[in-house]
Structure 1
């Protein structure tokens, strides 16, 4: 009998943590600006589910030209972060609202240089982060970064 009462208490506590039906029915919103859609890429710029934005990986290219900035990993990282900032701001969020990033590097030996530029965009709270090396990135990029951020109500 005690085990049954304990199980009931656990189930009641757990059910209080489950979002209400209205929140559960949040459907993904696939986000693309006209400029982004014109590039004909096979993915969305971002996807919003509830109040969370999932950004596709960004590289250090310029929207106007579609070409990578020159100057190596530091210049590419800076442009990548500016691209992320732009996507966030166009969608009601900000760099301060990022809580997770994944960094992909063409060469893990450039991790310190990438990090030195990346950290400048997070003077206060640092998001959780993962980083790994790949065998190649789009357009020959040195770095690609994807992020998750929340959108304030």
Structure 2
């Protein structure tokens, strides 16, 4: 017989490095809820805060490296990404962004959405993702 009793509520943890916390941004780098890690949108920013030079492809690589760093620091990996949302300042650069992005997923491709939006700091791309922790 099926029961509608609620299972134990998953744990919820807001995650950020000390360096990120000092920036006093209105969001966490990632949030862990149960066995899923939700990574906030990342842009192609270098550790000093400036956007990497070289256009959409270089920004996508740096964005993915930023995501990879957050995933690995919090118990996941690029191989466990299940969904990405890609936001582009100019949707006509979708092909170039996708060409750099897909190199991070040679085996299993996560579910993905893409849209054109206005982005902060003159960035050309922002990507957020969800990844499994198990």
Q: Using the TM superposition, name which of 35-44 and 98-107 deviates more.
A: 35-44
Q: 1:81-96 counterparts in 2 under 5 A?
A: 81-96=64-79
Higher helix share: 1
Provide the TM-score with structure 1 as the length reference.
0.84
**TM-score normalised to structure 2 length:** 0.95
Paired with 2:115 and 2:13, the residues of 1 have a C-alpha distance of: 29
Runs of at least 5 residues in structure 2 that lack an aligned partner in the other structure: none
Matched with 1:21 is 7
Point out where structure 1 has 5 or more consecutive residues left out of the alignment.
1-11
SS in 2 for 1:96: helix
User: What RMSD in Å do the two structures reach over aligned CA positions?
Assistant: 1.4
Give 1:94 deviation, angstroms. Answer: 0.2
Give the number of aligned pairs.
134
Structure whose CA Rg is larger = 1
* 3-state DSSP of counterpart to 1:58: strand
Greater fraction of residues in strand: 2
Where 2:129 maps in the other structure, the secondary structure is strand
Superposed structure 1 runs of 4+ greater than 4 Å apart: none
